[in-house]
A and B are shown apart, each in its own frame.
Chain A
């Protein structure tokens, strides 16, 4: 299968909206307001924190706020000059700072973000662990969530030919992003299903 035809291509995954479970969006935004718009989205890798942050940004902008997003990667202990400019230049109370991957920052860099964000209308972060800011939402995944995403991407009938969501969810420890990457490789013909590799029959009759 060509990469452009792969239903699990990164661009198609990026278009999947966050499926909020538990509170409604209104309740989540009310809770954020109650926390003076300073809060964290918490969860391990592959639980949808970034997707939720992006959706939250759209909804905050829909309420007339401006958002400023920086994304930190593994080992980013400090903000770059460009990231500092994005976050702090000409900050007003209409601005909400969004820091994706805040747990990467070193102690001093995090203190700077917290201190300088006082001039902003809010600070929302994602983090693998709680404690940096009050938790607004804990991102979790379930096999049902994964099954729903897969069905949306490939259709229900085709989803039945793929490894089951339960199996994938367990194999990747709840990391939906990694599970979807496995399905990308499977559709691309880069790997065979684990069941096929071991020679055991697949429960879905691949």
Chain B
């Protein structure tokens, strides 16, 4: 069975904007990959259409069937991870092997408060 995994240093999944995410990507493939790359991106989920922003792409050249590579990616200043009732913004790291779009994903939180920002409905004063 194929496996693609992402591990961050000390298992951290919560980061402040501007911090650097360090870790390793490892995989065990049954068929050779033409390319393998790590992507740092955010996406939205909720009632409306999905938006996606790919921030950084790190290629891993000459990937073997079973391999392990380290990475170090600085995070941007934003957007922050947040959730409301209508929309959530979720950050993730993903390793994608082509062909076949074989992938492993790790969700992370990017926020200066080191937790997802939860939006509260605003009720105007009566």
Check if B85 sits within 8 Å of A188, measured CB to CB: yes
Q: Given contacts A3-B87, A3-B88, is CB(A10)–CB(B118) below 8 Å?
A: no
Q: Is A1 engaged at the interface, CB distance under 8 Å to the other chain?
A: yes
Asked whether B88 lies within 8 Å of A10 as measured between CB atoms, the reply is: no
Closest CB-CB distance, A72 to chain B, in whole Å? Answer: 16
Interface string of B100-113 (1 = CB under 8 A from A): 00000000000000
- Residue A189 is within 8 A (CB to CB) of chain B in the complex: yes
Q: What's the tally of chain A residues with a CB closer than 8 Å to chain B?
A: 14
Answer yes or no: A9 CB below 8 A from chain B CBs: yes
Which residues 26-61 of B have a CB within 8 angstroms of A?
45-50
Q: In the complex the two chains form, what is the Cα distance from A170 to B74 in whole Å?
A: 52
B residues less than 8 Å from A1 (CB atoms) = 85
B27 nearest CB across to chain A (Å)? 24
Is A111 in contact with chain B by the CB < 8 A criterion? no
Interface pairs (26), CB distance under 8 Å: A1-B85, A2-B85, A2-B88, A3-B46, A3-B47, A3-B83, A3-B84, A3-B85, A3-B87, A4-B46, A4-B90, A6-B46, A6-B47, A9-B45, A9-B46, A9-B47, A10-B47, A10-B48, A10-B49, A10-B50, A11-B45, A184-B47, A188-B85, A188-B86, A190-B85, A190-B86
Binding site for A on B (CB under 8 A): 45-50, 83-88, 90, 118
